[in-house]
Structure 1
Amino acid sequence: MTDKPTRGISRRRFLTGTGAAGAIALAGCTEGPSGSGDGGGSGNGGSSGSGSSGLSGEITITGSSTVYPVAVAVANRFQQEHDGVDISVSPTGSGGGFSNHFCVGNAEFNNASRPIKSEEEELCSENGIEYHEINVATDALTVIVNNENDWVDCMTPDQLRQIWRADGASQWSDVDSSWPDQPINRFGAADTSGTFDYFNEAILGEEANHTSDYEATEQDNIILQGVQQDQYGIGYFGFAYYQGNTDSVKALGIDDGSGCVKPSLQTAKEGSYQPLSRPLFTYPRKSALAEEHVAEFARYYVEQSANSSLIADEIGYVPKTQETMQSELDALNSVIDEVQ
C-alpha cells in the first residue's frame, strides 16, 4: 500500500465493504456535512462560516488506519468552510506515519491508535520535531469471525492469546476440543499499525510474540473480506469498520472474567469492554501550529471530537464529552499561544 497522502471522502458509506482502500480509490472527492451534530461549536478560536475564507495552505495527515475515517470526515467538513486549505490524509499505520513521515518532518499531523512509542519520540527529537498529543475518541477494538462460525460467540483473552501467539494454536480444536478440527485462518493488522501494537499489549503481553502466520495488512477491508469469505477465518480491527458491516461478519464478545461483553459504543464508553477498549490520538507538529490554517484545523479537529453525530453515528467511535473536549482544546490553545 502506498504511503503517498491522498484525498478521501468522509462518512460511513466508505466504510461499508471497502474500508481504507475504498476511500483511497475515491481520492479527490469531497462530501458535505450532514448536520452539525453535538459538540460542533466553534469553541475558543474555532472555525466558523462556510465556503471561502482567508485561510489557505496545505496540511498533510498520516498515520493510523483506525483514526483515518475520523481525520477524513473532519478534513472534509473543514474544507467546506475553508476551501483554500488543501488537506491530504493517508492511512500509513501509526508506526509507519511516525517513522516515515511525521518524525522526519514530512507531515503536519500523525494519527495513532496508541500513544507514541519511546523510539518514535527519539526519532522526532533527533529531527527537531516537537508535537502535542490530542485524544480524539475511544475505540472498541473488535474481533470478528465468519457468519457461518456457529461454534463460538465469545472468547477469553487467553483463548485469543492461544490463537494469535507465535507458538499457539493452529486449529480451532487446539483452543477448545469441541471446536472444529480445521485450520485457523487469521487476518489482522500489519506490524506498522497501532492496532497491531495495542492488540499485542492487551492480549499477548510481554511473554508472547504475535504470530507471523496471518494475512497482515493496513487495509481493514482486506481483513473484513478475508473473514467474510472464510468460514474458519478470524480477524481484528477498529469498531467503526465492524459497525459499517454488521451483516457481513460476526463480532465476538470478550470475557475478561466478568462475563461476556460485546463490543459497542456503550460498552467502550462505560469501560466494561476489556481489555480491548482503547484511546485514539492525533499528534500535530508544534512548529506547524504557528501557521494559522494548521492551528485552525487543529482546533476544529478537537471540537469535532465531541460531535456525537459525526464520531459515534457516522463513524462508530465514542466521542469526547463537552468537558473533556474543552480540556483538550484549552491545552491545544496553550501550545498554539507558545508557537505563534
Structure 2
Amino acid sequence: MMTDSPSGGFSRRRFLTSSGAIGALALAGCTEQSSDGSDGSSGNNGGSTDSSGSGQLSGEITITGSSTVFPLATAVANEFQKQHGQVNISLSSTGSGGGFSNHFCVGNAEFNNASRPISSEEEQLCADNDIEFHEIQVATDAVTVIVNTENDWVDCVTPEQLRQMWRADGASTWADVNSDWPDEPINRFGAADTSGTFDYFNEAILGEEADHTSNYEATEQDNLILQGVQQDQYAIGYFGFAYYQSNTDAVTALSIDNGDGCVEPSLETAKAGDYQPLSRPLFTYPQKGALAEEHVAEFARYFIEQSANTELVAEEIGYVPRTEEAMQEELDALNEVIDEVQ
C-alpha cells in the first residue's frame, strides 16, 4: 500500500516522485473498519455497498493505461482498499494507447485509464474481441510545457511557436523560433507515441497538417522528462500538470498565449477554461462485462464518487475535480450500465 501523509491524506508529492519511476503498482490487503465494525462503505448515491448482503467484496481488478491518470487511479484504489481489503488491484502505467491495444481491448484488463478519448481504431479492436466499454470522465488536466530554470529568454509561448518547436520539419534552434533567443539546439523531452498526452499534444498543437518530430527523447515516465529538462538549459518538455505541481522548484512552466494574453497552467485556469488549447478531460474505461462482478462495479462507482473529492483530486493529486452535478450524472449513467449487465 502507499504510505499516507502525516495528516492522514495521500501524499501527492511522495507518490508522484516515486510512481514516475515505478510505473506499476499492486495494491492489496489494506483494510479499515469504522467504529461500528462495518467495512467503511458509504452506501451513498447507489455505490459502495455489497448488494449480495455478505458485507465483504473480494476479487481481482487489473487497471492499465494513461500515466497521467495513474496517480489519481492509484490514490482512489488505495482508499477503496481501506474499505475492501480482499479486493486486489493491480495498476500499470502503459500509456493510453498501449493500454487499449495491448491489454484492455484484448480482454486482459477490467479498466483502462486514458488522457484522451478512445480512438475509432481502438473501438474496432475492442469490438473484434467482443469487449464493450463505458466511458467515465474523472478529472480535467492541464498539459504543462516546461523549460530549465536557467532559461531566461522565454516565459510565455504561442501555440504557433510550440508548433515550430515540435513539428517534424520545424525549428532546430531556439533562434529559429525567435531571433532574440539563443542560437542553440532545442533539446526536446516528451511523451511516447503510446501516450494519450502525446496524442492530445499532437491534436491541440500540431493539428492535422503536421507530424510530431521524432527528434526528441520519448518516454512514458514523467520523471525522465523532468530530469532531462532539469539537466539541460536548452531543453523543453511537456507532461501533465500534476507532475509539474509536485516539482515546481525543479523546472519552469511556460504560460500559453492563445490570443488573449499569457495564461499560466493552474487548476484555476484549467477549470475556468482559460488555459487553452492544453486543458483536457481525463477518463477511465471499465469493461461492461466486468461490471457484472460486484467488486468491479463498486470500484467503478467509487472512482466516480471520488472524482468530485476536491481534497483528493485537486489538493493531493493536482487535477481539476468534477462538480457534484457532473459526478452524479456519471454515476447515474454507470448504474444504468450495471443494471443492464447484472
Same fold (TM over 0.5): yes
- Pairing 1:242–2:244 present: yes
Which amino acid in 2 is paired with 1:273? Answer: Y
- Pairing 1:225–2:227 present: yes
Aligned match of 2:12 = 12
Aligned match of 1:21 = 21
Distance 1:19 1:249, change over 3 A: farther
Distance 1:15 1:237, change over 3 A: farther
Counterparts of 1:250-269 in structure 2 under 5 Å? 250-269=252-271
Q: Say whether the 8 Å CA contact 2:31–2:81 is kept in structure 1.
A: no
Aligned match of 2:46 = 45
Name the CA distance, whole Å, in 1 between partners of 2:229 and 2:138.
Answer: 29
Taking only aligned residues, the RMSD between alpha carbons, in angstroms, comes to 2.0
Q: TM-score, normalised by structure 1?
A: 0.91
Which amino acid in 1 is paired with 2:11? Answer: R
Name the CA distance, whole Å, in 2 between partners of 1:302 and 1:179.
Answer: 46
Name the CA distance, whole Å, in 2 between partners of 1:90 and 1:123.
Answer: 20
Gaps of 5+ in 1: 1-6, 34-39
Distance 1:130 1:16, change over 3 A: closer
Aligned match of 1:328 = 330
Name the CA distance, whole Å, in 2 between partners of 1:259 and 1:105.
Answer: 46
Q: Say whether the 8 Å CA contact 1:8–1:23 is kept in structure 2.
A: no
Counterparts of 1:200-219 in structure 2 under 5 Å? 200-219=202-221
Which amino acid in 1 is paired with 2:246? Answer: G
Name the CA distance, whole Å, in 1 between partners of 2:17 and 2:43.
Answer: 34
Aligned match of 1:305 = 307
Aligned match of 1:37 = none
Q: TM-score, normalised by structure 2?
A: 0.91
Give the Å deviation of 1:47. Answer: 1.8
Aligned match of 1:61 = 63
Name the CA distance, whole Å, in 1 between partners of 2:295 and 2:28.
Answer: 21
Q: 1:271 aligns with which of 270, 273, 294?
A: 273
Name the CA distance, whole Å, in 1 between partners of 2:2 and 2:29.
Answer: 7
Give the Å deviation of 1:61. Answer: 0.2
Give the Å deviation of 1:15. Answer: 4.7
3-state SS in 2 of match to 1:314: helix
3-state SS in 2 of match to 1:128: coil
Name the CA distance, whole Å, in 2 between partners of 1:208 and 1:63.
Answer: 26
Which amino acid in 1 is paired with 2:80? Answer: F
Determine what percentage of the aligned residue pairs are the same residue: 74
Give the Å deviation of 1:224. Answer: 0.6
Q: Say whether the 8 Å CA contact 1:55–1:84 is kept in structure 2.
A: yes
Counterparts of 1:110-129 in structure 2 under 5 Å? 110-129=112-131
Which amino acid in 2 is paired with 1:228? Answer: Q
3-state SS in 2 of match to 1:236: strand
Counterparts of 1:173-184 in structure 2 under 5 Å? 173-184=175-186
3-state SS in 2 of match to 1:283: strand
Name the CA distance, whole Å, in 2 between partners of 1:46 and 1:312.
Answer: 22
1:217-244 CA distance string (max 9 Å, x none) = 0000000111011111100000000000
Q: Say whether the 8 Å CA contact 1:42–1:303 is kept in structure 2.
A: no
3-state SS in 1 of match to 2:237: strand
3-state SS in 2 of match to 1:44: helix
Q: Say whether the 8 Å CA contact 1:63–1:93 is kept in structure 2.
A: yes
Q: Say whether the 8 Å CA contact 1:299–1:329 is kept in structure 2.
A: yes
Which amino acid in 2 is paired with 1:241? Answer: Y
Name the CA distance, whole Å, in 2 between partners of 1:201 and 1:91.
Answer: 22
Name the CA distance, whole Å, in 2 between partners of 1:129 and 1:29.
Answer: 26
Distance 1:234 1:117, change over 3 A: same
Distance 1:66 1:290, change over 3 A: same
Matched residue pairs, number?
A: 325
1:283-325 CA distance string (max 9 Å, x none) = 0000000000000000000000000000000000000000000
Aligned match of 1:4 = none
Gaps of 5+ in 2: 4-9, 33-40
Name the CA distance, whole Å, in 2 between partners of 1:134 and 1:30.
Answer: 27
Q: Say whether the 8 Å CA contact 1:15–1:241 is kept in structure 2.
A: no
Aligned match of 2:72 = 70
Q: Say whether the 8 Å CA contact 2:28–2:87 is kept in structure 1.
A: no
Name the CA distance, whole Å, in 1 between partners of 2:29 and 2:222.
Answer: 21
Aligned match of 1:36 = none
